[in-house]
Chain A
Amino acid sequence: MKSILLIAVLSAVAQFFMPWWIIAPIAFGVCFWQSESAGKAFLEGTASVTLVWTAYTVFLNIQNGGVLATRMGELLLKQPNSPGLMLTLAPFIGGLVGGIAGLAGFYVRQAFMPRFKL
Chain B
Amino acid sequence: MRIFRALFVTLLTGALVWALNRPWGPAPAFGPFLSPFTGFWQNADNAAGLTSGSEIDVEGTTQPVTVNYDEYGVPHIFAQNDADAYFSQGYVTARDRLWQMEFQTHAAAGRLTELVGERALETDRFNRRMGMGFGAERAAEMMLADPTSKMVVEAYTAGINAYIKSLKSGQYPVEYKLMGYAPEPWTPIKCAYLLKLMTSTLAMGADDLRMTNIMRKYGPGVVADLFPDYPTLESPIVPAGTKWDFKALPIPATAIDAAMQKQLALRTAPSFDAGLVQRDAAIGSNNWAVGPDKSSTGYPILASDPHLTLSLPSIWYQIQLVTPTMNVCGVSLPGSPGVVIGFNQKVAWGVTNVGADVLDFYTIKFKDAKQSAYWHDNQWKPTTARIERYKVKGKPDVVDTVRYTHHGPVVYSTGQKPLRSNIPTGHAARWIAHEPANDLRCFYLLNRATNYADYRKALSHYVAPAQNFVFASVDKDIAISPNGKYPLKWKNQGKFILDGSLAAHDWQGWIPADQNPIVKNPPRGFVSSANQFLTDKTYPYYLGWQFAPSERGRRINERLTTMTNATPDSLRNLQNDNLNLRAVDALPTMLSLVQAQSLRPDQLAALEVIKKWSRRNDPDEMGPTIFTMWNEKLMEGIWKDEFDGGDTLPMRLPSFDRTLALLQRDPSARWFDDVKTPARESANDILTSSLKAACDSLTRAHGPMSPTWAWGLHKSTDVRHLIPGLDALSAMDVLSGGGSSVVNATTARTGPSWRMVVALGPNPKGYGVYPGGQSGNPGSPGYQNLLEAWRTGQLNELVYLKSANEKHSKLTYSITLK
B-contacting residues of A (Cβ < 8 Å)?
15-16, 19-21, 24, 28, 53, 56-57, 60-61, 63-65, 67-69, 71-72, 74-76, 80, 86, 89-90, 93-94, 96-97, 100-101, 103-104, 107-108, 110-112, 114
Closest chain-B Cβ to A32's Cβ sits at a distance in Å of 10
Q: 14 A-B contacts, Cβ less than 8 Å apart?
A: A24-B17, A60-B41, A64-B779, A67-B44, A68-B43, A68-B174, A69-B44, A74-B727, A74-B728, A89-B34, A96-B16, A97-B13, A100-B16, A114-B2
Known: A68-B778, A103-B9, A104-B10. A94 touches B35 (CB 8 A): yes
Contact for B44 among A53, A61, A89, A100, CB less than 8 A: A61
Q: Which residues of A contact B422 (CB under 8 A)?
A: none
Q: Whole-angstrom distance between the alpha carbons of A100 and B16 in the complex?
A: 9
Contact for A56 among B6, B12, B37, B781, CB less than 8 A: B37
Q: Are B36 and A53 in contact (CB under 8 A)?
A: yes
CB closest residue in chain B, given A74: B728
Which of B25-33, B188-196, B384-392, B584-592 participates in binding chain A? B25-33
Known: A110-B6, A111-B2, A111-B6. A65 touches B781 (CB 8 A): yes
Question: Would you call B729 an interface residue if the criterion is a C-beta within 8 Å of the partner chain's C-beta atoms?
Answer: yes
- Which B residues from 1 to 51 make CB contacts under 8 A with A? 2-3, 5-7, 9-10, 12-13, 16-17, 20-21, 27, 30-32, 34-48
Q: Which residues of B contact A63 (CB under 8 A)?
A: 44, 46-48
Q: Which residues of B contact A114 (CB under 8 A)?
A: 2
Count chain A CB atoms within 10 A of each CB in B5, B37, B41 and give the residue with the most. B37
Known: A65-B781, A67-B781, A68-B174. A112 touches B6 (CB 8 A): yes
Q: Are A60 and B44 in contact (CB under 8 A)?
A: yes
Contact for A75 among B36, B728, B783, CB less than 8 A: B728
Known: A63-B47, A68-B778, A90-B34. A112 touches B3 (CB 8 A): yes
Q: Which residues of B contact A67 (CB under 8 A)?
A: 44, 47, 778-781, 783
Question: Would you call B259 an interface residue if the criterion is a C-beta within 8 Å of the partner chain's C-beta atoms?
Answer: no
How many residues of chain B get a CB closer than 8 Å to chain A's CBs?
Answer: 43
Q: Whole-angstrom distance between the alpha carbons of A80 and B730 in the complex?
A: 13
Query: Per DSSP, are chain B's interface residues mostly helix, strand or loop, or mixed?
Result: helix
Closest chain-B Cβ to A55's Cβ sits at a distance in Å of 9
Q: Whole-angstrom distance between the alpha carbons of A63 and B47 in the complex?
A: 6
Q: Which residues of A contact B17 (CB under 8 A)?
A: 21, 24, 97
CB closest residue in chain B, given A11: B37
Q: Are B34 and A110 in contact (CB under 8 A)?
A: no
Contact for A93 among B13, B20, B40, B781, CB less than 8 A: B20
CB closest residue in chain A, given B47: A65
Q: Which residues of A contact B45 (CB under 8 A)?
A: 64
Top 9 closest pairs, chain A to chain B, by CB? A68-B779, A64-B44, A65-B47, A20-B35, A75-B728, A74-B728, A111-B6, A56-B36, A107-B6
Interface string of B774-811 (1 = CB under 8 A from A): 00001111010000000000000000000000000000
Q: Whole-angstrom distance between the alpha carbons of A65 and B783 in the complex?
A: 14
Q: Are A15 and B35 in contact (CB under 8 A)?
A: yes
Known: A64-B46, A75-B729. A100 touches B9 (CB 8 A): yes
CB closest residue in chain B, given A55: B36
Closest chain-B Cβ to A89's Cβ sits at a distance in Å of 7
Q: Whole-angstrom distance between the alpha carbons of A15 and B781 in the complex?
A: 27
With A24-B13, A53-B35, A93-B20 given, can you name 17 additional A-B contacts, CB distance below 8 Å? A19-B21, A21-B20, A56-B36, A57-B36, A64-B46, A67-B44, A67-B778, A68-B44, A68-B778, A71-B728, A80-B728, A90-B36, A90-B39, A94-B35, A96-B16, A108-B6, A111-B6
Known: A21-B17, A69-B44, A100-B12. A16 touches B728 (CB 8 A): no
Closest chain-B Cβ to A62's Cβ sits at a distance in Å of 9
Closest chain-B Cβ to A77's Cβ sits at a distance in Å of 10
Question: Would you call B258 an interface residue if the criterion is a C-beta within 8 Å of the partner chain's C-beta atoms?
Answer: no
Q: Which residues of B contact A100 (CB under 8 A)?
A: 9, 12-13, 16
Interface string of B727-740 (1 = CB under 8 A from A): 11100000000000
CB closest residue in chain A, given B10: A104
Q: Which residues of A contact B729 (CB under 8 A)?
A: 71, 75
Q: Which residues of A contact B783 (CB under 8 A)?
A: 67
Q: Whole-angstrom distance between the alpha carbons of A72 and B783 in the complex?
A: 15
CB closest residue in chain B, given A72: B40
CB closest residue in chain A, given B12: A100
Q: Whole-angstrom distance between the alpha carbons of A98 and B40 in the complex?
A: 20
CB closest residue in chain A, given B9: A104
Q: Are A20 and B32 in contact (CB under 8 A)?
A: yes
Known: A68-B43, A74-B727. A94 touches B6 (CB 8 A): no
Q: Which residues of A contact B56 (CB under 8 A)?
A: none
Q: Which residues of A contact B10 (CB under 8 A)?
A: 28, 104, 107-108
Closest chain-B Cβ to A64's Cβ sits at a distance in Å of 4
Q: Are B778 and A101 in contact (CB under 8 A)?
A: no
Question: Would you call B726 an interface residue if the criterion is a C-beta within 8 Å of the partner chain's C-beta atoms?
Answer: yes
Q: Are A15 and B47 in contact (CB under 8 A)?
A: no
- Which B residues from 464 to 513 make CB contacts under 8 A with A? none
Q: Whole-angstrom distance between the alpha carbons of A81 and B265 in the complex?
A: 61
Q: Which residues of B contact A112 (CB under 8 A)?
A: 3, 6
Closest chain-B Cβ to A115's Cβ sits at a distance in Å of 13
Closest chain-B Cβ to A34's Cβ sits at a distance in Å of 17
Contact for A97 among B5, B31, B726, B728, CB less than 8 A: B31
Closest chain-B Cβ to A111's Cβ sits at a distance in Å of 4
Closest chain-A Cβ to B9's Cβ sits at a distance in Å of 4
Q: Whole-angstrom distance between the alpha carbons of A89 and B729 in the complex?
A: 20
Q: Whole-angstrom distance between the alpha carbons of A16 and B36 in the complex?
A: 10
Q: Which residues of A contact B31 (CB under 8 A)?
A: 20-21, 93, 97
CB closest residue in chain B, given A69: B44
CB closest residue in chain B, given A56: B36
Q: Whole-angstrom distance between the alpha carbons of A111 and B12 in the complex?
A: 16
Q: Whole-angstrom distance between the alpha carbons of A28 and B16 in the complex?
A: 14
Q: Are B2 and A110 in contact (CB under 8 A)?
A: yes
Contact for B38 among A19, A68, A89, CB less than 8 A: A19
Q: Whole-angstrom distance between the alpha carbons of A67 and B42 in the complex?
A: 12
CB closest residue in chain A, given B29: A20
Interface string of B168-180 (1 = CB under 8 A from A): 0000001000100
CB closest residue in chain B, given A80: B728
Q: Whole-angstrom distance between the alpha carbons of A90 and B44 in the complex?
A: 14
Q: Which residues of A contact B39 (CB under 8 A)?
A: 20, 90
Q: Whole-angstrom distance between the alpha carbons of A75 and B38 in the complex?
A: 18
Closest chain-A Cβ to B176's Cβ sits at a distance in Å of 14
Q: Which residues of B contact A86 (CB under 8 A)?
A: 34
Closest chain-A Cβ to B170's Cβ sits at a distance in Å of 9
Closest chain-A Cβ to B598's Cβ sits at a distance in Å of 45
Known: A67-B47, A68-B44, A75-B728. A21 touches B36 (CB 8 A): no
Q: Are A107 and B41 in contact (CB under 8 A)?
A: no
Count chain B CB atoms within 10 A of each CB in A19, A28, A80 and give the residue with the most. A19
CB closest residue in chain A, given B14: A24
Q: Which residues of A contact B34 (CB under 8 A)?
A: 86, 89-90, 93-94
Contact for B20 among A16, A28, A74, A97, CB less than 8 A: A97
Q: Which residues of A contact B726 (CB under 8 A)?
A: 75
Closest chain-B Cβ to A28's Cβ sits at a distance in Å of 7
Q: Whole-angstrom distance between the alpha carbons of A16 and B171 in the complex?
A: 12
Q: Whole-angstrom distance between the alpha carbons of A19 and B37 in the complex?
A: 9
Count chain B CB atoms within 10 A of each CB in A15, A19, A20, A71 and give the residue with the most. A20
Q: Which residues of A contact B36 (CB under 8 A)?
A: 53, 56-57, 60, 90
Q: Whole-angstrom distance between the alpha carbons of A112 and B6 in the complex?
A: 9
CB closest residue in chain B, given A45: B13
Q: Whole-angstrom distance between the alpha carbons of A2 and B479 in the complex?
A: 77
Q: Which residues of A contact B44 (CB under 8 A)?
A: 60-61, 63-64, 67-69
Closest chain-B Cβ to A60's Cβ sits at a distance in Å of 5
CB closest residue in chain A, given B43: A68
CB closest residue in chain B, given A103: B9
Q: Which residues of B contact A76 (CB under 8 A)?
A: 27
Q: Are B30 and A93 in contact (CB under 8 A)?
A: yes
Q: Are A64 and B47 in contact (CB under 8 A)?
A: yes
Q: Which residues of A contact B727 (CB under 8 A)?
A: 74
Q: Which residues of B contact A53 (CB under 8 A)?
A: 35-36
